[in-house]
Amino acid sequence: MNKTKRKIFETSMKLFAEKGYDATSIEEITATVGVAKGTLYYHFSSKEEIFNFLIEEGVKLLKNSIAIKTAKLDNSLDKLRAIILIQIKILVKYENFVTIILSQIWGTDPRSQMCKSYVFDYIQMIEEIVKEGIKKDEIVEGDSNVIASGIFGFTCSSLIYKMRHHNEEIDVPTLYREIDKTFIKKLKK
């Protein structure tokens, strides 16, 4: 991604997270980036295309990070721990992305449906690891969808935690250990 496209991408993400998609205009994006509308339209055909690109890139980053990390692990609990750690790190580094995707999953419009689909695909990826762990007798018997949804829920709760402590740097290892202690260790068979 070239420098101008990256700047449009990052500025749009910040504005969408702060103001919401509907309240952010192309004019505001171009003014904040410092480029003409023609330059923006050279890289993206519409605000919707910027949004779609933003969501696709963010989800790809998350899923690729998890696939790389979990491929090296055999134990299902270790895979779940890796997922939680990656989720926390992504939240800290890309808070705006997480804010956008979570704010968009509640509607019924096409943008919300797209975000919901990505979230459900992601939860399905976690659910497959949970099912594998139950099958291998590493994880207690339970509803794999509920467990996977709960693990995803840590993204949401970590975001709230971060918002409550906005003036402090988030201590990733401490937050991770607390989630591991209160949830993941209880899944061990």
Domain CATH number, residue 18:
1.10.10.60
Q: What are phi and psi of 139, to 5 degrees?
A: -125, 145
Q: What are phi and psi of 188, to 5 degrees?
A: -65, 135
Shared domain check, 123 and 63: yes
Domain CATH number, residue 86:
1.10.357.10
Shared domain check, 123 and 75: yes
* b/e per residue 102-118 (b: at least 16 CB within 10 A): eebbeeeeebeebbbeb
Instruction: Indicate whether this model's pTM tops 0.85.
Output: yes
pLDDT, tens digit (0-9, with 9 covering 90-100), for 9-56: 899 999 999 999 999 999 999 999 999 999 999 999 999 999 999 999
Computed over every residue of the chain, the mean pLDDT equals 91
Shared domain check, 58 and 41: no
Shared domain check, 118 and 137: yes
* Residue 155 confidence (pLDDT) above 80: no
Shared domain check, 176 and 149: yes
Q: How many domains does the chain have?
A: 2
Structural domain including 6 reads 1-45
Residues 6+ apart with CB under 8 A from 70: 79, 82, 83, 129
